[in-house]
């Protein structure tokens, strides 16, 4: 278990080296069309959504280690297909594999960390170690974003191949994990027959139910700028007539975004103590909705700087949501619960992406008026969810 705890941040670092993250939408809409680029993003989330619950069930039944090995192995295949592919069908298959990778890792990685700490009688350290892993992961994202932007400006395929190499290293680390022994200590007695019965029982807890809707919503609103940020940057650059390379600008923006997120994570504990976790969670969601709303108002080049703040809400909330959830679940249903939670967030996002693709242009690039309409609907949805969570926060007993 000490080895798991020591290796875990490095696993997250190498798994987060996504050199394609700053250029993928630009690459897809250049090779295909804007509508197909959005549809490929939806295919990724649909794939992840379809496998979220089965992968969580498998993780609880077969183990964390084997599930993480599968997650990284299929990621390698998906990255290679994106690097060498040139048709919608090949890209779609690659997106399915990358979606499967995300599904197998979702909930399983953090469950392995918490259970390893528990076996060492260090479960109370979960928040500290989640924060540390968060910083490792986002440092990896920042590094790969700026390098990926440079690679994308030269030859996009190199960004995908570099991601495959990083995933191979993550695979080697995953093979060195040890499987934590499971207990049923925290599983409600009447829910023990199946994991899904335990999940249903867990949702009766007001705290878990409230966090469920928060996490699902924040997943969606965090990924809106991820999908539409690149075409937004391209449109803003074209409008400014500065002659900048969109791939390099996008890579620099994502790198800055991740570094700011890492810096913010150091302030998060102070904010939590001063204002309480509930208020900080709602602040994070409000920031997501506000960012999307601002991008819907203007595409002035200065608005690109707003994307620097995209991951700040996640750095304020994500590690603490997991730290609050873990003690309320049992080892034999933890990954299933987290997978169901992620399933709902991804299903919501995939559905909205599909609807967005129906109204997108069939041309080579997504125009700002289309981006503006799409973002306006997302911003309105974020404000609606925020209002509901504010009303029910007291009942959730978060602090």
User: Residue 391 belongs to a domain with what CATH number?
Assistant: 1.20.1250.20
Residue 183 lies in a domain: no
Whole-number Å distance between alpha carbons of 247 and 234: 9
Residue 362 is predicted with a pLDDT of 56
Residue 161 is predicted with a pLDDT of 92
Burial of 87 (0-12, 13-18, 19+ CB in 10 A): exposed
Whole-number Å distance between alpha carbons of 233 and 237: 6
121 in the Ramachandran plot: left (φ > 0), alpha (ψ -120 to 50) or beta? Answer: left
Residue 282 CA, chain-centre distance (Å), reads 18
Share of the chain above pLDDT 70, in %: 92
**Of the candidates 344, 85, 113, 92, which has an alpha carbon nearest to the alpha carbon of residue 213?**
344
The single residue listed with the structure tokens 């925020």 is 386
Residue 78 is predicted with a pLDDT of 93
Lowest mean pLDDT among 278-292, 300-314, 328-342: 328-342
| CB 94 within 8 Å of CB 42 | no
Q: What tens digit of pLDDT does each residue of 95-132 get?
A: 999 989 988 888 788 888 888 988 888 888 887 888 88
Residue 142 lies in a domain: yes
Q: What tens digit of pLDDT does each residue of 67-95 get?
A: 999 999 999 999 999 988 888 999 999 99
Residue 343 lies in a domain: yes
Residue 182 lies in a domain: no
For the chain, state the CA radius of gyration: 20
Q: CA torsion sign, 354 to 249 to 266 to 171?
A: positive
The whole domain housing 123 covers 2-176+191-396
Residue 242 is predicted with a pLDDT of 63
Residue 181 lies in a domain: no
Task: Label residue 187 by pLDDT band (50, 70, 90).
Answer: very low
Residue 275 is predicted with a pLDDT of 86
Residue 193 is predicted with a pLDDT of 45
CA 238 to each of CA 220, 229, 231, 243, 374: distance values in angstroms, whole numbers, following the listed order? 28, 14, 10, 7, 20
Residue 192 is predicted with a pLDDT of 46
Residue 101 is predicted with a pLDDT of 92
Residue 190 is predicted with a pLDDT of 44
Work out the number of other CB atoms within 10 angstroms of the CB of residue 54.
Answer: 14
End-to-end CA distance of the chain: 30
Q: Which residue has the higher pLDDT, 332 or 274?
A: 274
pTM for the whole thing? 0.68
Residue 252 lies in a domain: yes
Residue 347 lies in a domain: yes
| CB 202 within 8 Å of CB 330 | no
Whole-number Å distance between alpha carbons of 207 and 329: 12
Q: Is the pLDDT of residue 336 over 90?
A: no
226-296-227 Cα angle (round to 5): 15
Token duo for residue 313: 């809400």
CA 32 to each of CA 85, 230, 396: distance values in angstroms, whole numbers, following the listed order? 12, 15, 46
To the nearest whole number, what is the mean pLDDT of the chain? 83
Q: Is the pLDDT of residue 396 over 80?
A: no
| CB 177 within 8 Å of CB 112 | yes
Q: What tens digit of pLDDT does each residue of 191-224 get?
A: 444 556 766 777 778 888 898 889 889 988 988 8
Domains contained in the chain, number: 1
Residue 358 lies in a domain: yes
Lowest mean pLDDT among 57-61, 197-201, 225-229, 298-302: 197-201
């Amino acid at each position: 278990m000490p080895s798991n705890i020591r290796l875990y941040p490095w696993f997250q670092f190498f798994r987060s080296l996504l050199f394609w993250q700053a250029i993928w939408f630009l690459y897809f809409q250049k090779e295909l069309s804007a509508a197909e680029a959005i549809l490929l993003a939806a295919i990724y989330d649909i794939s992840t959504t379809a496998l979220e619950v089965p992968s969580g069930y498998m993780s609880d039944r077969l183990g964390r280690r084997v599930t993480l090995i599968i997650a990284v192995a299929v990621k390698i295949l998906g990255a290679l297909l994106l690097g060498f592919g040139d048709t919608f069908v090949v890209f779609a298959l690659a997106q399915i594999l990358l979606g499967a990778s995300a599904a197998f890792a979702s909930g399983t990685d953090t469950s392995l960390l918490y259970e390893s700490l528990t076996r060492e009688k260090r479960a109370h350290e979960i928040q500290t170690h989640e924060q540390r892993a968060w910083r490792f992961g986002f440092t990896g994202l920042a590094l790969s974003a700026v390098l990926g932007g440079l690679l994308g400006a030269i030859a996009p395929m190199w960004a995908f191949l570099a991601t495959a190499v990083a995933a191979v290293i993550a695979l080697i680390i995953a093979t060195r994990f040890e499987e934590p022994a499971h207990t049923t200590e925290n599983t409600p007695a009447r829910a023990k027959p199946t994991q899904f019965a335990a999940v249903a029982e867990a949702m009766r807890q007001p705290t878990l139910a409230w966090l469920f809707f928060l996490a699902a919503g924040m997943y969606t609103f965090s990924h809106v700028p991820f999908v539409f940020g690149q075409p937004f940057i391209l449109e803003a650059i074209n409008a400014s007539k500065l002659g900048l390379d969109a791939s390099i600008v996008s890579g620099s923006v994502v790198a800055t975004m991740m570094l700011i997120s890492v810096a913010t994570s150091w302030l998060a504990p102070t904010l939590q103590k001063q204002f309480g976790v509930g208020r900080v969670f709602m602040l994070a969601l409000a920031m997501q909705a506000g960012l999307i709303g601002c991008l819907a108002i203007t595409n002035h080049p200065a608005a690109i700087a707003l994307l620097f703040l995209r991951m700040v809400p996640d750095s304020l909330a994500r590690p603490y949501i997991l730290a609050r959830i873990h003690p309320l679940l049992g080892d034999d249903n933890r990954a299933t619960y987290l997978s169901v939670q992620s399933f709902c967030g991804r299903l919501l996002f995939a559905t909205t992406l599909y609807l967005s693709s129906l109204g997108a242009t069939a041309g080579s690039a997504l125009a700002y008026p289309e981006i503006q309409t799409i973002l306006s609907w997302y911003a309105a949805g974020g404000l609606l969810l925020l209002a509901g969570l504010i009303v029910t926060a007291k009942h959730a007993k978060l602090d």
